[in-house]
Amino acid sequence: MSSMLRKQFLDYMTLHRFSKHTRKNYILVMQSLTKFYNQAPDTLTQEQIQKFLIYLIEEKKLEWGSVNNYLCGIACFYKNVLNWDETRFKIPPRPRIKKLPSILSEEEVVRLFNAAANLKHRVFLKMVYSAGLRLGEAISLRPEHIESDPSRMMIRVEQGKGRKDRYTVLSRNLLPELRQYWREYQPGEWLFPGHSRKKHMSSTSGHQVFHRAKKKPALPGVGAFTA
């Protein structure tokens, strides 16, 4: 993709307040498409785009959610940068698959916390669980978002789902361990910093914290936790 088209696409997404994650993701989608054909995106046809999507499904064996992510990025570019209309670029309807979420039992939740030997990771998991946070909300927390005054006991979530701010509860059971984490780690700008303290923990790292703890046996003596 030429630098001019890339800038036009980024400018559109910035003006329409797409999240940083979405902007980066959609740029990667368009790079994958142009690399697949080794052609500029404004020279591709609707048929070529459809064949690329079929390749993702049949050859790459991607799940629908991943394919739909490609689809949304491609549609956004062609409709808003190249001004394709619906007659030129038709999006296949998303299959209606109802899948119930996996809910952990109380024993499984306690075992998960006890398996996280690292204090930072244990506090992170407990914060997500007790406050009902989404991953993106948890990793974006700053120290000033924690209101630990006994009359408040709230967590301020900024730009959550739907780009809306909201408040959620700060567990009294979590507070002592959260304070211990603060004393030992002195996290700074972000409550849960990444490898670079100037940036917060990545969503990939957040997923890894959960899955690693899920695979480990529970450690004795860490203690239970209730929200």
Q: Tens digits of per-residue pLDDT, 71-117?
A: 999 999 999 999 988 766 665 555 555 565 566 777 878 888 888 87
User: Has domain 3-80 been given CATH number 3.30.365.10?
Assistant: no
Could you tell me how many residues make up the chain? 227
pLDDT value for 200: 93
User: CA-to-CA distance for 61 and 33, rounded, in angstroms?
Assistant: 16
Break the chain into its structural domains and give their ranges: 3-80, 106-215
pLDDT value for 44: 93
User: CA-to-CA distance for 36 and 217, rounded, in angstroms?
Assistant: 43
Q: Which of 39, 37, 38 is nearest to 53 (CA)?
A: 37
**pLDDT of 29 above 70:** yes
Asked whether the whole model's pTM tops 0.75, one would answer no
- For tokens 């499984």, the residue is 108
**CATH architecture, domain 106-215:** Orthogonal Bundle (1.10)
Q: Each residue of 152-202: pLDDT tens digit?
A: 999 999 876 666 788 999 999 999 999 999 999 999 999 999 988 889 999
CA-based diameter of the chain, in Å? 63
Token code pair at residue 165:
């701010």
Neighbours of 78 (CB within 10 A): 20
Decide the pairing of beta strands 154-157 and 166-169. Answer: antiparallel
For 117, list phi and psi in degrees, rounded to 5.
-70, -30
